[in-house]
Structure 1
Amino acid sequence: MSDSSWIAVDAMGGDEGLAVMLAGVARARRRHEGMRFLLVGDEDAIRAGLAAHPNLTQASEIVHAPEVVDSGEAAGRALRRAKITSMGIAIDLVKQGRAGAAVSSGNTGALMAMAKLSLRTMPGIDRPALAALLPTLGDNDVVMLDLGANAECDANNLIQFAVMGAAYARVTLDLDAPRVALLNIGSEDQKGTDSIRDAAAALRAAGHLPMRFEGFVEGDRLSRGHHDVIVCDGFSGNIALKTAEGTARFVADLLRRAFSSSVRSKIGFLISRPATQLLRDHLDPNNHNGAVFLGLNGLVVKSHGSANELGVATAIHHAAKMVKADLARRIADDLGNFARDAA
């Protein structure tokens, strides 16, 4: 049983360095006063960095790790060094039960490999899935999975992803019955692969799950806010995610170029600054940071490598909510209910 009051943080992971990681943890601590942190990494460097965050010093312990996983390191090599790296030790603290979740901004492939090997999948789950929140025009973000952990999926994988994603949405988005859809090339029942159609048929028949299955959704509707959970294989999901991120950067760059093109445009920018600031905040990935590996016997959250202080705090906030809500138990209960429905 994991200690839900502690979160293990890979303090050495991420592109922005130790100072940003500690600032993010300190910010998260102010939001979750009862939460405590196991800061994993170079002990001397962490201790020196904590001098700038007295509120964090009393709420944390340092776990020394002599080495760090490099950003471009192959997953196989990282696995062989797991016992001596800050990333591997942070995950092992979850396995030991000393922490309720682990958070890292490090190498995604290495983190995925270490988490799967150390924590293993939950009973009833064939493969873990990577889930994250994407901004929408609706009242809340949308949960999307899988975002790259599984390039090819069968119907059972998609069904399990839907159950896990719905449980995650209930916790993260505070929804009683999330609206779930499968990403497809059309909204008609006959569209898509056999796996997608078979998964849809099974989810329609599962009437006792705390979700509302709403069929298929096309890629151009992802950000409309009409669904709370969107399910797909990891190949399609990763492409959709990268396309959405690229589009957001394109819009931001286009606006920047347009507003700097002339004196009149610059005046227009000053007038519309509140609206453009709202747009910037809504599209800022730091406000939606924190992808989680669902389906493991323990919680591991991947923070974006380039996340700033706000982004790190957001990822930790998601981890804290999942730990407090006992997400793994909710997923296990929903899988059991689905199995009974199918029987």
Structure 2
Amino acid sequence: MTDVKTTTIAIDAMGGDFGPAVTLAGAALALQRRPDTRFVLFGDEDAIRAVLKDHEALRTVASVRHCEMSIAMDAKPSQALRQGRHKSSMWRTIEAVKTGEADVAVSAGNTGALMAMAKFCLRTMAEIERPAIAAIWPTLRGESIVLDVGATIGADAQQLIDFSMMGGAMARALFGLDKPTVGLLNIGVEEVKGQDEVREAGRLLKESNLDRILYHGFVEGDDLGKGTVDVVVTEGFTGNVALKTAEGTARQIASYLREAMSRTWLSKLGYVLARGAFDRLRDQMDPRKVNGGVFLGLNGIVIKSHGGTDAEGFAAALDLAHAMARNDLMNKIAADLRSFHERMSNAPVKQEEKDEHEADIGSASV
């Protein structure tokens, strides 16, 4: 009989707007779907065990680690790092990945504090200057990955390339794609449009002829919903605005539908007759189904759940954590980055670049 490999997930049980009531209920749901999962729960032991008694199956596969404090949702990252290092449930959840006690960490807590602690505790990978947050984006074709959605503001060409490599590795791990398509978000698809950093990143990606991703070119805002590419790359300010706009639009459309379906007796009858179709639409627009942002570029996997989600949404973040750990995300990122940098270091210098370099040397010696 073959032993089933287990995946261990560290959970910041105190994180989010509702703490253990939601994080543990979410873990119980995730366990039903993935019984090969084990959990390490960090937080106030009394509060955790008070909820854990209602989840018998979870209780048998969960370990509890008492923590002195939890990080407030409105705490400044610097304050959280200074006061919560080594003793908060958030820090110790991340630290469990560093020490090897867990394969992946999940928290619904303060995003800024979580990123600050993750960077300080795990450090960035050798080839990465800045980490990124990658989100799952529902599209007409299925799902895509969008990054960065808020880790950093602004990005130069090299950082956009790093995001492309990391996003491609995540698409291979999550979607099982051999060579995912990658596009750079821009104000137009023409190569002459956009900021210098975006155009330079596009040029380098196009010329690199990478074997692990297929560079599509520039994509525009409407391509996000179309699912034109498997991975959309942008910097954190633009990505976060796009994410919040999409979430708000989904809620707006849902509100319009509810109002329209309850306006008259005829519309109510129409809803009853088409209830199956509306249920499918509601399910496709449910933000809980794609809850969870992946911190990429660190020496360990950290997942950020939405702070206000319910048990179903937190379970989705745990499902994502399980998939990232089981599908070897870290090694895929490392391999893709190594392949890119090897290709760049071995790439022949173009004649015009060589001429410009020699001209610069000549002028400097005059």
Q: Same fold (TM over 0.5)?
A: yes
User: What is the distance in 1 between the residues matched to 2:138 and 2:85?
Assistant: 34
- Say yes or no: does 1:99 pair with 2:102: yes
Say which SS state the counterpart of residue 274 (structure 2) adopts.
helix
Q: Is the 8 A contact 1:119 1:297 kept in 2?
A: yes
Compute the TM-score of the two structures, normalised by the length of structure 1. Answer: 0.96
Report deviation, 1:206: 2.3
Give 1:193's aligned amino acid.
Q
| Equivalent residue, structure 1, for 2:328 | 326
- Does the C-alpha gap of structure 1 residues 87 and 4 become closer, same or farther in structure 2, counting only changes over 3 Å? farther
Q: Is the 8 A contact 1:4 1:323 kept in 2?
A: no
Report deviation, 1:4: 7.1
| Equivalent residue, structure 1, for 2:253 | 251
User: What is the distance in 1 between the residues matched to 2:74 and 2:46?
Assistant: 25
What does the per-residue CA deviation read over 1:222-270, in whole Å, with 9 as the maximum and x for residues that have no partner? 1112211000000110111111111111111111111111111111111
User: What is the distance in 2 between the residues matched to 1:222 and 1:25?
Assistant: 30
Give 1:10's aligned amino acid.
D
Q: Is the 8 A contact 2:6 2:36 kept in 1?
A: no
Q: Is the 8 A contact 2:133 2:148 kept in 1?
A: yes
| Equivalent residue, structure 1, for 2:121 | 118
Aligned pairs for 1:1-343 (under 5 A) are: 5-80=7-82, 81-138=84-141, 140-343=142-345
- Give 1 or 2 for the bigger CA radius of gyration: 2
Report deviation, 1:36: 0.8
Report deviation, 1:156: 0.2
Aligned Cα root-mean-square deviation (Å): 1.3
Structure 1 residue runs without a partner (length 5+): none
Matched positions, count: 340
Give 1:331's aligned amino acid.
I
- Where has structure 1 moved over 3 Å in runs of 4 or more? none
Report deviation, 1:59: 0.7
Compute the TM-score of the two structures, normalised by the length of structure 2. Answer: 0.91
Report deviation, 1:60: 1.0
Q: Is the 8 A contact 1:105 1:305 kept in 2?
A: yes
User: What is the distance in 1 between the residues matched to 2:69 and 2:272?
Assistant: 48
Give 2:109's aligned amino acid.
G
Q: Is the 8 A contact 1:4 1:99 kept in 2?
A: no
| Equivalent residue, structure 1, for 2:359 | none
Give 1:286's aligned amino acid.
R
Q: Is the 8 A contact 2:174 2:327 kept in 1?
A: no
Q: Is the 8 A contact 2:42 2:89 kept in 1?
A: yes
Report deviation, 1:21: 1.0
Residue identity (%): 49
User: What is the distance in 2 between the residues matched to 1:197 and 1:4?
Assistant: 44
User: What is the distance in 2 between the residues matched to 1:178 and 1:5?
Assistant: 26
What does the per-residue CA deviation read over 1:184-219, in whole Å, with 9 as the maximum and x for residues that have no partner? 000111111111011111111222331111001111
Give 2:311's aligned amino acid.
E
Structure 2 residue runs without a partner (length 5+): 346-366
User: What is the distance in 2 between the residues matched to 1:4 and 1:319?
Assistant: 13
